[in-house]
Chain A
Amino acid sequence: MTINEKIESDKIVLEVEGKVDRLTTQQLQDAILLALQKMRQLEIDFGGVNYISSAGLRALLMGQKTAQSKQGRMYLTKVTEPVKEIFNITGFSSFLEIQ
């Protein structure tokens, strides 16, 4: 999994690519929390992700909670079908902001 961070004027965009599993989750979690420290608005580009494990979901949960506690915003874009399915099964689609 690779994460590419782009800083724009009003938000940070994290372009994630690969498998978000138990081996790579910590990396994603660190990237999300660091980005939210820098800016209140965070966009996560999930276009290159086709699998996310429950540990990965936990990283997104922490990110969403952190964004809310800071009156910020975290949202996902370009979510692929398999990942959308996982979000649906786990009920995360009712909690995460997915565009």
Chain B
Amino acid sequence: MKKRGLDLKLSLMIVIFTGVLSIILTVASMVEHSNKVDEYYGENASKLALSFANMTDGDFIRELRELVDEPEFQAIREKALETNDWTPMENLLEERGLLEEYNEETDMLKSFKKDMDVEYLYIHSIEGDISVYLMSATEGMSALGLIGANAEEFAEYTTNMHIDPTVSDMDGIWVCSAYEPIYDSNNEAVSTVGVDIDMNQVMADRNHFRNRMAIYCIIFVLMAALCGIYVIRKLVVKPIESLTDGAKDFTDEESGYCSESVLNLDIHSHDEIETLYTEMRTMQEKILDYLDNITKITAEKEKISAELNVATEIQASMLPRIFPAFPNRDEIKLFASMAPALEVGGDFYDYFFIDYYHLALVIADVSGKGVPAALFMAISKTLIKDRAQDCLDPATILSNTNNHLAEANDANLFVTVWLGILDLRNGELKYSDAGHEYPILARQNGEIELVKPINKKMPVAAIEGVQYVTNTMQLNVGDTIFLYTDGVPEATNASDELYGMERLEEFMKTHYSLDVEELLPAVRKNVDEFVGDAPQFDDLTMLALRIVSFAEEKGEKTDGE
């Protein structure tokens, strides 16, 4: 859409308004003035007509009128008109004894016309459709007996009487006409005096006045429009433009939230513009504050994120990650891996020699996710390892750890733990299960079984005073034990299906013979293929141990690590 400036719009309104106003005023004043002037002239004309009528002898006029009706007069008049010799008419008037008074009256007409500056002065009898002219200041004898048709508006006047003055255009000449009756001695109106006053000058003045007024109006309208434009530009358009520029500067991507844009404008107009400016200033200040806050928050977030990364590294470094785990021990092959779902997870595994023959295996899953779970995991892992230093009974280790952790556990976190201690001399595995998934045991011949304890107990730290139970089972050379957390069987695909124990067992059945270093990535791959594009919700933690041979009794025990 084409943009029109506010100044243009408002000045257009001013032009229209002042234009209409001045036209109305001019027309009204002209009409008023014309009426007054016409009235004035009309009064004058009426007075002149009246005074002349009073000066005129009515009886003489009546006789004159009667004379016109005589056929003899009409014949003489027609002849005189033809020959343009008015002597026979004079003779007739002489004959009737009217000539002397006729001449006197004519002189009076002429001098009255001259003295009073009247355009036309005449005596005629108005008789409905026609007027019978008797005398005229300008026409002389030819006027006597002249019969003229009356204008339509005169048709109502069948007798001589006072007629209100009128202003009319008589063949290009503007005149003001007035008519007053002449009375005879019987007080009968016998004829009418007609007075026409020249109004041409008045009309010319009037036109001149109208033209001048039109010019004045145009000048007035233009000046009003210019003043309007100037005032609107100064009061409205300029401040709005500077506000617009300020706002543009503020949001401009290149100058980037220029803090001086609106704040530094100087608007003190004490009107709505100033209010708008104040509000925009406040808005800008608030946005700047807000930006400041956001920047701080972002920095804070980045700091937290960096710290979380460090936490992830610390957590990862807490788990033994160097493989082969025990390069000097040929009796076993061991591999473990953890892939946390969030930056820091709650799963952990651990393995360590308690003494030369006893290898401890730990896999655990802290309830919950993120930093709290990771902290809890760190404590749990440390405590279990600490308690295991001088103890070969998994139940005792877990009971001690449990009592320690459950004592002050306001967050009600808990950790499922499977702790096994393997005697490498004979394959005897003592284990205690605190609410963890059943490990999978793959015998050398491919038989798969779940390691189910007789007594399943609550996870560690859930409640105080749990007496964990140690179970014993026998492992043989070539057997593999696979430990994992619930992230494996509970991996979920896009259609909300669980990976499940059956798939896991089936996979182990067909892949148990892989080297442990290959087995875990293979499980991981299988799970990933099942899950597809669905997001990973839980940590995937696995540990696999295979017995290669039994350890031979040594005379002197040394620490395995």
Contacts and interface: CB of A to CB of B under 8 A. Distances in A.
A62 B463 CA distance: 10
A51 B457 CA distance: 20
Question: How many of chain B's residues touch chain A, expressed as a range?
Answer: 20 to 34
Main SS at interface, chain A? helix
Interface stretch (A4-12, A40-48, A70-78, A91-99): A91-99
Contacts of A55: 367-368
A18 B458 CA distance: 24
A57 interface: yes
A83 to B, nearest CB: 13
Given A65-B463, A89-B438, A54 B456 contact: no
A1 to B, nearest CB: 13
B209 to A, nearest CB: 92
Contacts of B463: 61, 65, 95
A89 B437 contact: yes
Contact of B459 (A22, A62, A90): A90
B462 interface: yes
The SS class assigned to the B binding surface is loop
B348 interface: no
A93 to B, nearest CB: 8
B458 to A, nearest CB: 4
A53 B539 CA distance: 13
Contacts, number: 56
Interface residues of A, number: 19
A58 interface: yes
A91 B368 contact: no
Contacts of A65: 412, 463
Interface in A17-70: 21-22, 51, 53-55, 57-58, 61-62, 65
Candidate in B413, B462, B490 with the most chain A CB atoms within 10 angstroms: B462
B368 A54 contact: yes
Given A94-B458, A95-B458, A95-B463, A57 B438 contact: no
Given A54-B365, A55-B368, A61-B414, 15 more contacts: A21-B537, A54-B367, A55-B367, A57-B414, A58-B367, A61-B462, A61-B463, A88-B456, A90-B459, A91-B435, A91-B457, A91-B458, A92-B435, A94-B457, A95-B462
15 contacts: A22-B369, A51-B498, A53-B490, A54-B365, A57-B367, A58-B412, A58-B413, A58-B414, A62-B412, A88-B456, A89-B456, A90-B435, A90-B459, A91-B416, A91-B435
